[in-house]
């Protein structure tokens, strides 16, 4: 069992994205996920990012809750 706390900056780092709080806020501001689009099908992911997100969700990994949070934040409009 994973005992350390994972936060959004760690998820962004895993995705190979800038992971400062400002960069995360900017990413969320610039990207939108339509209501019926699963997060793994968003057009702004690379194939490796999409694969990582899909594996997180399919395996109910330690990252799953953060992926769900990101999903929710990307649907803010």
DSSP 26-77: HHHHH----TTS-GGG-TTS-HHHHHHHHHHHHTT-TTHHHHHHHHHHHT--
Question: What pLDDT is stored for residue 5 in this prediction?
Answer: 79
How does 37-62 read in b/e, with b if 16+ C-beta sit within 10 Å? eebbebeebeeebbebbbebbeeeee
Give the CATH class of 8-74. mainly alpha
Ranges of each domain in the chain: 8-74
- Within 10 angstroms of residue 32's Cβ, the number of other Cβ atoms is 13
* pLDDT tens profile 16-71: 999 999 999 999 999 999 989 999 999 999 999 999 999 999 999 899 999 999 99
């Amino acid at each position: 069992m994973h005992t350390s706390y994972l936060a959004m900056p760690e998820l962004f780092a895993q995705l190979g994205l800038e992971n400062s709080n400002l960069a995360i806020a900017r990413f969320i501001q610039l990207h939108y996920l339509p209501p019926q689009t699963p997060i793994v099908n968003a057009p702004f992911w690379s194939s490796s990012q999409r694969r990582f997100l899909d594996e997180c969700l399919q395996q109910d990994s330690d990252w799953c809750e953060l992926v769900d949070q990101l999903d929710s934040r990307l649907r803010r409009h």
